[in-house]
Structure 1
Amino acid sequence: MKILHRQIFKELLSIFTLSLSGFMGLILIGRLLQFRDLFMGQSLGALEMGKLFLYLCPFFLLVLTPIATMLAIFLTFLRMNSDNEITALKSGGLSLYKLLPAPIIFCMLCTGADVFFSLYGLSWGTENFRNALMEFARTRSQLAIQPGVFNRDFPGLVFYAEKVDTKDGKMHSVFVRDSTRKSMTATIVAPLGEIRTDSARGRIMVHLENGRIYQQQKDQLSVLKFKNYDVRIPLGNLLKGYDVDDLRPKEMSWEKLVRISRGGDRAGDLDPKFYRKVQVEVQKRLALPVACLVLGMFAMPIACIFRGLKQQYGLIISMGLFLVYYTMLSLGITLGESGTLSPVVGLWAPNTIFAVISILLLKMAVMERSFRIKLSFFKKKRREAV
């Protein structure tokens, strides 16, 4: 039995690794096409692009781990069923219940990994991704402001600095003309300036010290003195439309989500729709890891019930079943965010339904009730029709 479980586990692991790698490759290629303008605008090298993709991996792994788990178990037991290995084991006195330890342990390990991605990996990746983009934008802004040159790269802003220290970004004798407001134009003069980043709010600003602001509004001119003043640089032009302003619920850490959902962290001041999104995100972070166990145990009896099915068709069936699950999950997310349905019900209903069905199908598979797919019959009918 140890040898049998070990061999099943090895096959599960190999198919899981291959499936997860394939899905990750396709998604990362899609992201590369999506961020091509950002990468070209920031002139990023292969190392910087690799870091950004690494930071995005936990977000994708959270969703891809359940489907890879389901696919691994389905294809493994489908092959064993097609090669009559399960029939041979049954003839030796082994039931399907005795084959459960390997897939259960495998599903538990995948669930544990997905819990790590959900609670820790996603927030780590999101924070580092935002910080990396902010640092790229800050460097880009620093390079854009050349000494002795009027810079007009940012809409509504004109920058001029007599001297710029390329090492620390310090600027001397700074002139800024701000016409981003329709009703007022401001001219700012300061002896010292520096480009700073605010990663928490997704902002880059030019910090000025000990200067004056000349505000012109219609026919009135006012002069203000300041000790510290920040001019915000619009990131839409630098990051090619990528939004790094306020954190969205799916980008928040688990601790922050829990605080908001429990009424802390000024939850009362939040928009009700945003608060519902936070509650939905909390349930999603919990439901997706459990889906590894539910979908994995759902795939095993399905693979044992269908006979005479080739692996390529099995792949289509498994993807279709996951599409049904993901459609139900997406519907629960939509209803939860709109307030029509409780997030607990909407996010956990797919897991509950698939878990009940998996128990019924397992009993059916143990009783050797199966659906034999005779593809040759359909091919013969097709030839006769032609």
Structure 2
Amino acid sequence: MRILIKYIIKQSLGSFFIGLGGFILFVSLELLYQLSDLIVRYKVGIDKLFILIYYNLPYFIVLGIPVGVLLSIFWTLSRMRSDNELIALQTHGVTLKSIVIPFIIFSMVLCFAAYSFNDFIVPIANRKASEAISKYVYKRPEVTFKENAFMEDGRGRYLYIKKIDPETGELQKLLLYDLSSGKTRVISAENASKESGKWIMHNGRIFETDSKGFLLFDMKFDSLELEFEQDINQYIRSSKSPREMTSSELKKKIASFNKLGVDTASLQVALQEKLSNSLAPFVIVLLGVPVSLFLNLKSRSWSVILTFALVVIYQGSGAWLSAMGKENLFNPVLAPWIPNILFTAFGIIIFALIDTRASYRLSEFLGRFFKISVIVFL
């Protein structure tokens, strides 16, 4: 078994890096496409574009690892089947189900690498990427687009900013909690803009409660100066978005927000995504190996097609469910894990069917179905 493990891992490395490299190239071009309007509008040089791609590489690598794993599974097993190596292994007493072991070992190493990247390197790189976009694209080094910005002045006052617009520098959806006097004063505003060197809040409301929670007064305002001890501009430059935080920073931020009653859905999703994305290589192995063995893949072209289809389903559903979690349309803690749970369950079911009569009948039916589908499609 040790020889088999080394052999399969060695055979998988080449196709893994092909899949990873192809994915990185694709998403890099997609990034440039998304920024194309801004690139033309702000006349961004080609050297600056390479800087943007460079800072996004760690994040792309984490997303691309499952793609490389899936392609390596389909590519390696289809070659082994076409060369009759799987039949030779079965002749020597090696069951098809045991083929999953080398891939599991390979995936666990990649899970550790993905977690290390995701929690230590990616936050720093995302921070640099955000700064590069604001500096080279928007030409506003003091402002970048952020969500859920939060600060305190050390005197019992807390400022929460839902979003910061990178083009206008406008603060959107503000909440100011003032607990300094023993009472609770809350000021909310739709937005705030800088006027004559001061931050002015617009379309807001002020209410105050005593220590027992009884309402003392409640009023609305059209405009009001935002007074805060800390330099808001300096804070904007130094604050981090959820994508720029480590797991420990996210946990601290969630705890602080919970104390103030601020919605933490987007932070919860960001924290769970770090963990679920890190386990993606293992999940992909649990599904990819059984699917490849079950379908009796021999063609490398089918390997590429199935890799593309499963990656679109896996990452597309993950992005969609995470977006729902951020808006509290779905449990924010559970949302990022749904694709992993479904893919794992589906993979275990297929794995249990391998080497059974039902699997042979079903695989023959699916083989015919795929051939007919290709003919009809063409």
Shorter-chain TM-score: which interval? 0.5 to 0.7
The residue type equivalent to 1:77 in the other structure is L
- Post-superposition Cα deviations, 1:148-200, rounded to whole Å, max 9, x if no partner, equal xxxxxx99xxxxxxxxxxxxxxxxxxxxxxxx989x8x59xxxxxxxxxxxxx
Contact kept in structure 2, 1:15 and 1:72, CA below 8 Å: yes
Contact kept in structure 1, 2:324 and 2:335, CA below 8 Å: yes
Q: Which runs of 5+ in 1 are unaligned?
A: 142-153, 156-179, 188-229, 233-242
The 5-angstrom pairing of residues 118-197 of structure 1 reads 118-133=118-133, 136=136
- Post-superposition Cα deviations, 1:38-88, rounded to whole Å, max 9, x if no partner, equal 556465463x54333221112222222122212211221122223332122
1:57: which partner in 2? 57
1:77: which partner in 2? 77
The 5-angstrom pairing of residues 1-386 of structure 1 reads 1-36=1-36, 41=42, 44=45, 46=47, 48-133=48-133, 136=136, 247-261=240-254, 263-264=255-256, 266-269=257-260, 271-272=262-263, 275-307=264-296, 309-367=298-356, 369-370=359-360, 371-372=363-364, 373-374=367-368, 378=372
Separation in structure 1 between the aligned mates of residue 278 and residue 19 of structure 2, nearest angstrom: 17
TM-score when normalising by structure 1: 0.63
Separation in structure 2 between the aligned mates of residue 94 and residue 80 of structure 1, nearest angstrom: 14
Q: CA deviation at 1:119?
A: 0.7
Contact kept in structure 1, 2:77 and 2:293, CA below 8 Å: yes
Q: CA deviation at 1:102?
A: 1.7
Q: Pick closer, same or farther for the CA change 1:31–1:245 going to 2, 3 Å.
A: farther
Q: CA deviation at 1:352?
A: 2.0
Separation in structure 1 between the aligned mates of residue 311 and residue 46 of structure 2, nearest angstrom: 37
Separation in structure 2 between the aligned mates of residue 315 and residue 381 of structure 1, nearest angstrom: 18
The residue type equivalent to 1:315 in the other structure is V
Separation in structure 1 between the aligned mates of residue 253 and residue 374 of structure 2, nearest angstrom: 62
- Post-superposition Cα deviations, 1:325-364, rounded to whole Å, max 9, x if no partner, equal 3343234323322323322332223222222222222222
Contact kept in structure 1, 2:13 and 2:72, CA below 8 Å: yes
Contact kept in structure 2, 1:298 and 1:358, CA below 8 Å: yes
State the secondary structure of the residue aligned to 1:94: coil
Contact kept in structure 2, 1:71 and 1:318, CA below 8 Å: yes
Which of 295-304 and 329-338 deviates more? 329-338
The residue type equivalent to 1:14 in the other structure is G
State the secondary structure of the residue aligned to 2:334: helix
Contact kept in structure 1, 2:290 and 2:354, CA below 8 Å: yes
Q: CA RMSD in A?
A: 3.9
Contact kept in structure 2, 1:81 and 1:303, CA below 8 Å: no
Q: CA deviation at 1:32?
A: 2.7
Contact kept in structure 2, 1:130 and 1:244, CA below 8 Å: no
Q: CA deviation at 1:277?
A: 0.7
Separation in structure 1 between the aligned mates of residue 375 and residue 337 of structure 2, nearest angstrom: 43
Q: Which runs of 5+ in 2 are unaligned?
A: 142-166, 169-191, 198-230
Separation in structure 1 between the aligned mates of residue 16 and residue 104 of structure 2, nearest angstrom: 14
State the secondary structure of the residue aligned to 1:344: coil
Separation in structure 2 between the aligned mates of residue 80 and residue 357 of structure 1, nearest angstrom: 24
1:240: which partner in 2? none
Contact kept in structure 2, 1:308 and 1:374, CA below 8 Å: no
Separation in structure 2 between the aligned mates of residue 65 and residue 85 of structure 1, nearest angstrom: 26
Separation in structure 2 between the aligned mates of residue 307 and residue 342 of structure 1, nearest angstrom: 38
Separation in structure 2 between the aligned mates of residue 362 and residue 111 of structure 1, nearest angstrom: 21
The residue type equivalent to 1:249 in the other structure is P
2:216: which partner in 1? none
Which of 105-114 and 312-321 deviates more? 312-321
TM-score when normalising by structure 2: 0.65
Q: Pick closer, same or farther for the CA change 1:379–1:337 going to 2, 3 Å.
A: closer
State the secondary structure of the residue aligned to 2:330: coil
Separation in structure 2 between the aligned mates of residue 381 and residue 14 of structure 1, nearest angstrom: 31
